[in-house]
Structure 1
Amino acid sequence: MSAGISDMLARLKPLPLRLRIAHLAALLRCEADGSPRVGELTRLLSFQSAALTASIPGGRAG
């Protein structure tokens, strides 16, 4: 993970998990498809989404 992404994750930590996911999804929508950050943001988003799923009783929403 690059230093920029690590710094971004550190800034997101104080936010509630659902807000972190929403913020990362918005960043992905704004990034150009060929941007090197897209892959890192996608991995970070999937990691945060997995953390949310694990925090829900029963393991899934709905």
Structure 2
Amino acid sequence: MQADQFGWFKSSYSAQNGECVEARRRTEGGLHVRDSKRTEATAIAFEAAPWAAFAQALKADAFDVR
């Protein structure tokens, strides 16, 4: 993952069609998350613990998205 000049990064698994999310570490911990197609829109702030729990659930395939 390569961060841009403002610290925003996206997964290296992201497609080149621009339909992905970008994240940036917060100085106080946690992440900001935004839509890569609407970078001017407000980002969502996540505290570190809830984001870690969400990421762990994704890795465990805990969400039924079918």
TM-score tier by shorter-chain length is 0.3 to 0.5
Higher relative contact order, structure no. (Cα contacts within 8 Å, ≥ 6 residues apart) = 1
Q: TM-score, normalised by structure 1?
A: 0.34
Q: TM-score, normalised by structure 2?
A: 0.32
Higher strand share: 2
Higher helix share: 1
